[in-house]
Every structure is written in structure tokens, then in C-alpha cells.
Structure 1
Amino acid sequence: MRISAKKVYEVLKREGVEHIHHANSVITSCQFLRNGALLSRGSIEQKGLYQTPQNSDKIDKDMGVWFDVFADSVDIHHRASRLNAYGPVLFLIDIELLKKAYTGGIWITKLNPTRWEGKKHEDKWFTSVKEFENNFKKGEFNQMLVFRHCGGELSFKKYLKEIKLDDPNQKSKHTKIDYYSMAFGALKISMTEGGIDVPIFRRTCVGKCSCINEYSSDMARTDQMYMPKPIKSD
């Protein structure tokens, strides 16, 4: 069900949410910065731009959310103490965007679309304002904000506050440069091209975060997530 941006803003503020979060790869994040907006997977494809493939792409198309923009209420990497499967670049966007920018209505999931097969509509989405008010929980990973009526683009130029970037402590075999430095430079250049100036912070993990081990155990995937240009086959 479409819920007004004003109501979503009120509930998020009540729950102590100050930012909406979106994680992605370096290449895809650079496309966002150049355009000054979060772009849906379908919008990037329509523009003829490159984006890092995601395991959920076919599901998103099948489930009718290919042209929707997704965001979370928390930093999943921090909360789960592991890497975010969608990428090492995290955008933190002031939730004032919901109140001051035109976003249309917002839909809130109950389940990640990767788990929708065979589910009824009411099992996928919050279906009333009251249900949303009574059951939304900050940091519940299945409860995602979905911008379905924003033309596949959620402009964030005035509201992007900072970017967090993971440091996997590894070098790329393609460039011989450490991933963090390479990604940082690509993001800064893209910000300049998009007329954006926000700080990029190196993520500081706490507790027993497993991200470093996860990055080093799948270097092919790490390459995909960090390379600022598509990787050519050997």
C-alpha cells in the first residue's frame, strides 16, 4: 500500500531514524553521484549505464520492482557485523528528504522481495497506515522503504550527508592499488562531476565484524564491488 511520505517521516522520526541508508557497489554508486540521485536498477539499464550485477536482478524484474528505489532504516553492515551484500559504499541521506522533496508515496516491505515467491500481497507489504504505525521496527532488515512513484530516481543532492566506505585491506590484482584508495578516488571524481561535496569516511567496524574475512574469501566478488570500471575477462 502507498503510504504518504509525511506519515513515513513521522513514524521513522518516532523510531529514532535520522537517515535512510542505501548500499551499493563502487561503479553503481558513481552513477548515483554523477546523477545526484539514487537510481532504480531499471532506470540505470534504460540510461545505458553500467551497474554491478546483483543476484536479485531477475527476481526484481519478476516481482515488478525493477524500476523501484530501495532504502533501509539502518546501516546493515554495522548492525549485522558483516559486509552488506549489496556493496561496500553506503549513502546516508537525511530523512528530511521525505518531508521536503517530492517523493510521491512510499511503500514499506514486510519481506525482502527475494522471499516473495508464493506470498500474498499482504505478506509482502504493509497494507494500512495503522499496520505500519504499529509494526514498523527500526533496523528490521525485511522492512525496506520502496520509492515506487518517483520515476525511478530519488534526488538526494540537498540531503546526502555522508558516505561510508568499507576498507577490505586488499589490493586489486588488476590495478595493484588497494581497493579503498581506488574506490575513494572514483567516488570523489564522480561527486565533482555531479556537483556534490560530502565527506567520505572509512568504515570503522566494531565487535567481531566478519567483513574482512568475507572480502578476502571471495576476491572475484570483491573485484566486482570495488572496481570503478567493468572488469574485462582474462
Structure 2
Amino acid sequence: MQLDPKELLNLLKSLGVTYLYHANTVGTACTFLRNGGLLSRGGVASRGVFQTYQKSDDLDKEYGIWNDIFLDNFDIHQKRKIQNFYGPVLFIFHVDLLEINGLPPLCITKTNPTDWRNIDISDRYYTSIEELRNSPYSEGDYFRMITLRNTLSVLPFNPYLVQIFLDFPHIRTGEQPTLSHAYLALMQAASTGGIDTRKIVGRYCDDHCNCYTESSYGPTTKDRTIRRFFKLGT
């Protein structure tokens, strides 16, 4: 199931993929920034630092992916005009990240792990680049995630981090301080971790984005969603 990073890199580039993406909450993103790179859920837990609870945590442990780092091949929020349900902070890497020496074992899921309950282990990942190439895999696939397996180590931001978006969706006036506090927290965490703060950019949605009209970001947003996405941790 482990794929060759160079072969995958060549395939992604042939499909027009230039960047890789990881979305998360503000609190977890701040932890990443202070540590200088992405961490698996298990990697954060092993350090005893803050990360936002995810309802999939128990399943992640059951399926053996608690120590995995996940990357998408497209910007879900921008392309699909929907809220990214992993959080409002989006880390954008150049795809050449896959050239890092000592990269953890690399796999690509065939489906979202939340749907693995009735799927055999042998059918959860692509077994080869050839199988991937012969599948309908393309830029914009939602459930076929690049995973770096079984790692507690930091996947460093430098030199492949291109930008960090903080989504500033339409939230009622009373919630605006939450957004400004989140932006400041990211800036401070980046400074602590030696990450260029100029890479952090606020991104506003327009009225054509479904996250404004249909998602938990919109006018009927629930307070618990705002707290989960923008909680700064301890």
C-alpha cells in the first residue's frame, strides 16, 4: 500500500496539482505553528499540547490512523463553495513537499476513513501508483486523501509552506472579535515557531459561497461550532 513519493509527485503534476492542503481549527493550527509544522493527532497528543477534539478521534485509533497526517490535493472551500468542516485555517504547501528526505510512509485512501466500517483493510488504500493512475483519481477528489502514515514527528513548514488562509466567513457582528482574536493568535504562534507571519492571510467569502447561506458559518450559525472552530486552546 505504500506509494513511492517521486512517482506520486510525477502523477500529481501530470494532473495539474501544484499544491497540497491541510485544514484545521484555529487552536490546533496554533499548535502546529508553534511546533514548526504539521503533526498527526497522535503526534500532538504525545507532546501533551492542545488540539481541538474531533468526533472521529475514536475511529482514528480503531482504524490505526491516529498517527497519520492527512493532505488534500485541492482547496475544498474554494472549489466546492462549501465550508471546510475540518476548520477555518488552511495550510497550503507546494506539492514538492513530497520530495522531503525521510518522508513517512505514503498512502492514498480510496474512501474517507469515516466510511471504513464495512470495508476490508485491503480495500482502504490504493496498492500502487498504477492502480491509482488507472482509477478516476484527479485533482479535486474529496475522499481520496494523501496520508503520511504512523508518524509522531513534525512535517516541517519550511521551505514548502506557501500560505495560510484564515477563513473570515459572514458571522454576526457579535462574533467578529472571535475572528480578530483568531488572527492574532495565529500570528503569535507563527512568530514563536519561526514561521513568516506574512504568509497568514484572512480570506472573506462572498455571498455566492454556500458556507454563507447553508453551513454552520451562516446567519443561523450555532455557537458550539464557532467555539470549536475558533477556540484558542490552553
- TM-score by structure 1 length? 0.90
Q: 1:28 — aligned with what?
A: 28
Q: 1:39 to 1:11 in 2, by over 3 A?
A: same
Percent identity for Structure 1 against Structure 2: 37
Residues matched between the structures, number: 228
Q: Aligned partners of 1:228, 1:158: CA distance in 2, in Å?
A: 26
Once the two structures are superposed, residues 160-213 of structure 1 have per-residue CA deviations (whole angstroms, 9 ceiling, x without a partner) of 11011111343697xx75232111110000010000104222224367312234
Contact 2:67–2:151, Cα closer than 8 Å, also in 1: no
Q: 1:158 — aligned with what?
A: 159
Contact 1:103–1:150, Cα closer than 8 Å, also in 2: no
Q: 1:137 — aligned with what?
A: 138
- Report the secondary structure of 1:203's partner residue: strand
Q: 1:10 — aligned with what?
A: 10
Q: 2:201 — aligned with what?
A: 201
Question: Over aligned residues, Cα RMSD in angstroms?
Answer: 1.9
Q: 2:61 — aligned with what?
A: 61
| Pairing 1:177-216 to 2, within 5 Å after superposition | 178-197=177-196, 198-205=198-205, 208-213=208-213, 214-216=216-218
Q: 1:168 to 1:178 in 2, by over 3 A?
A: farther
Contact 1:42–1:152, Cα closer than 8 Å, also in 2: no
Contact 1:81–1:206, Cα closer than 8 Å, also in 2: no
Contact 1:172–1:179, Cα closer than 8 Å, also in 2: no
- TM-score by structure 2 length? 0.90
Contact 2:165–2:202, Cα closer than 8 Å, also in 1: yes
State the AA in 1 paired with 2:208: K
Q: CA deviation at 1:90?
A: 0.2
Q: 1:47 — aligned with what?
A: 47
Shift >4 Å, 4+ stretches: none
Q: 1:118 — aligned with what?
A: 118
| Pairing 1:90-101 to 2, within 5 Å after superposition | 90-101=90-101
- Report the secondary structure of 1:21's partner residue: strand
Q: 2:231 — aligned with what?
A: 227
Q: 2:127 — aligned with what?
A: 127
Structure 2 residue runs without a partner (length 5+): none
- Report the secondary structure of 1:163's partner residue: strand
Contact 2:42–2:66, Cα closer than 8 Å, also in 1: yes
Q: Aligned partners of 1:64, 1:100: CA distance in 2, in Å?
A: 24
Greater shift, 70-79 or 130-139, is seen at: 130-139
Contact 1:170–1:178, Cα closer than 8 Å, also in 2: no
- Report the secondary structure of 2:168's partner residue: coil
Q: Aligned partners of 2:225, 2:80: CA distance in 1, in Å?
A: 19
Q: Aligned partners of 2:118, 2:52: CA distance in 1, in Å?
A: 28
Greater shift, 94-103 or 134-143, is seen at: 94-103
Greater shift, 151-160 or 5-14, is seen at: 151-160
Structure 1 residue runs without a partner (length 5+): none
Contact 2:20–2:73, Cα closer than 8 Å, also in 1: yes
Greater shift, 78-87 or 24-33, is seen at: 78-87
